[in-house]
Structures are given as structure tokens and as C-alpha cells.
């Protein structure tokens, strides 16, 4: 079977986008997605995103398979790329389109802007242990500055859900963190029954954070949109940053705001088209 695709990236977090609007079932299996995401034997990507028909009054539905074949609830960089891809499919100019996207994390609303930028209403963050989920605290408590032992060391972590789980640790120097060796240990720690994404954050200023990330199901990536959102929330909860800040990731910067008016998180960043092609699966 030949599948047409378009490659996009959001700050180096790259995705294979597939027009799946004729069916509510992804055109590929998780195993096929794994093969296409392989950077040596496939196209190469952190994940595959399917643009499916909308559900419950939404414009479209987003499904994602990670590079390991697992399916996350949502992806911040990915939904910006999806919005740009949808505008391309519809033949629009990518300057003012807004979509209501059904995801496993709820309805997300991206707004296309000029200069390849996309602003996304990410909704209200979830803060209770049962919502993340984690057993670090009792179910009705917020997980703020809790001790977690990983790789023989006690880390102080704060957990946030942006529809998917995040474990955030503030450190003096993110470059000194051996993410390659400890990332998987955080992800698969038994206190996270659905595994977790991991962010290490260095506070440069109250309005500027630097971040490294290990993504659940993908490993080290150049950027993570939901992780940047969750990290700003964690910074506010621990009084380390303001409610609006720039988050610098290895692939570039995102602008994140936690609105005091509606308590929604707003993320603004690029979605860049790389190339399109056809593959046989």
C-alpha cells in the first residue's frame, strides 16, 4: 500500500503527517508507524500524526503514534504541525485559520498566525495526583516538590498533566543532567502507572526558562510543547517563574502563558513544513 505523507517539525520535534480524513481509523498500525519513524530504515520522525474526521462537533480528530508504537494523549508541537497541515490540505493561507481538534486529552484549539507561528489554547492544566496520574501523593493532593529516588539519587519533582503526564525537576545546570541514562528510569518509574514525560528546567530569569526533555515513547527530543507548558505551570506552583515566560528548548523557543483570567495555558511557536512524499508500507 502506498501512503502519501508530509513531514513537519516544531522546533526539531518532527512528525510524519498523514491525510486520514476519509476514515476514522488510522491508515497505519503501530508496528508500521515504528518502521516509518526509524531514522535509518524509514522516513525518520518522533511520531506519526493522523488527521481524521472530527468527533462530537469538532473540525478534525488527531491521533498520534510515537516512534516506539505507543499512543500518547496529545502532543503540543504535533498539534501545531497538524494545524499547518490541515491548512495546506484545505488550500488556505495559514494566516488566520482556527481549528477545534478532538484529541485523547480533550478538545484543543490551535490558531494559525503569520510567519509559520501557531498559537494553541492548551486548556486547563490538571494538578492532582489522580489526574496525572501518580502515586507520589494521595489522590486529591497536588504533587509539588515531592522527593523521588531515581538512579540512586533523591530528586525533587513537581508533576502536571496537560492531558498527558509530566514530571518536572528544577536544576542548576540542565547540561549536566545525564538524560541519556536516567530518562528511561524516570519514564518507567513505578510511581507513574501510565509512564511519564520528564523535563529538567534551569531558571535563567523569572520570564525565561531552559529545558531538556525525555518524552514518553520517544526518548530525548529537541522540543516538547506540552512539556514546556507543564514546566511553566510547575515554575508558577513553586514560585520560580512568572505566568508568562519564554521556554528555550534544544530546538528553539516557545512562548507560554498561564492566563489568570480563564486559567488556560496558551502556547505559541512555529510549525515548519519540511517535505512531502510517498512511501510503501
Residue 253: active-site member = no
Q: Say if residue 25 is exposed, middle or buried (CB neighbours under 10 Å; 0-12, 13-18, 19+).
A: exposed
Strands 101-103 and 252-258: unpaired
**Smallest Cα–Cα separation from 234: which of 261, 200, 189?**
200
Contact present, 111 and 41 (Cβ < 8 Å): no
Distances (CA, A) of 73 to 30, 105, 251, 274: 15, 5, 22, 25
Residues 6+ apart with CB under 8 A from 191: 134, 135, 136, 148
CA distance linking residue 118 with residue 86, whole number of Å: 12
The rounded distance, in Å, linking the Cα atoms of 163 and 104 is: 8
Among residues 75, 81, 229, 241, which one is catalytic? 75
Beta partners for 9?
14, 272
Determine whether 279 is an active site residue. no
Cell of 259: 492566563
Take residue 110 and report the three cell numbers written for it: 490551535
β-strand pairing of 146-150 with 153-161 = antiparallel
Q: Is the dihedral of CA 173, 174, 177, 183 positive or negative?
A: positive
* Annotated catalytic residue within 37, 159, 167, 224: 224
Positions marked active-site: 75, 224
Amino acid at each position: 500500500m502506498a501512503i502519501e505523507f508530509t513531514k513537519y517539525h516544531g522546533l526539531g520535534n518532527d512528525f510524519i503527517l498523514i491525510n486520514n480524513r476519509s476514515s476514522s481509523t488510522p491508515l497505519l498500525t503501530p508496528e508500521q508507524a515504528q518502521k516509518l519513524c526509524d531514522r535509518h530504515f524509514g522516513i525518520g520522525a518522533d511520531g506519526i500524526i493522523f488527521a481524521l474526521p472530527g468527533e462530537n462537533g469538532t473540525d478534525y480528530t488527531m491521533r498520534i503514534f510515537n516512534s516506539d508504537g505507543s499512543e500518547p494523549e496529545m502532543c503540543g508541537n504535533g498539534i501545531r504541525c497538524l494545524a499547518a497541515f490541515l491548512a495546506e490540505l484545505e488550500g488556505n493561507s495559514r494566516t488566520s485559520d482556527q481549528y477545534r481538534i478532538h484529541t485523547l486529552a480533550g478538545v484543543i484549539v490551535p490558531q494559525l498566525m503569520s510567519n509559520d507561528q501557531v498559537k494553541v489554547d492548551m486548556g486547563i492544566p490538571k494538578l492532582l495526583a489522580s489526574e496525572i496520574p501518580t502515586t507520589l501523593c494521595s489522590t486529591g493532593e497536588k504533587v509539588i516538590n515531592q522527593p523521588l529516588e531515581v538512579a540512586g539519587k533523591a530528586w525533587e519533582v513537581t508533576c502536571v498533566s496537560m492531558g498527558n503526564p509530566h514530571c518536572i525537576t528544577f536544576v542548576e545546570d540542565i547540561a549536566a543532567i545525564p538524560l541519556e541514562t536516567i530518562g528511561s528510569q524516570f519514564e518507567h518509574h513505578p510511581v507513574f502507572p501510565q509512564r511519564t514525560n520528564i523535563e529538567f528546567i534551569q531558571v535563567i530569569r523569572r520570564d525565561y526558562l531552559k529545558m531538556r526533555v525525555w518524552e514518553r515513547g520517544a526518548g530525548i527530543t529537541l522540543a516538547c510543547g506540552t512539556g514546556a507548558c507543564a514546566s511553566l505551570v510547575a515554575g508558577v506552583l513553586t514560585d520560580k517563574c512568572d505566568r508568562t515566560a519564554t521556554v528555550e528548548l534544544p530546538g528553539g523557543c516557545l512562548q507560554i502563558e498561564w492566563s489568570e483570567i480563564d486559567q488556560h495555558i496558551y502556547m505559541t511557536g512555529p510549525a515548519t513544513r519540511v517535505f512531502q512524499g510517498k512511501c510503501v508500507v
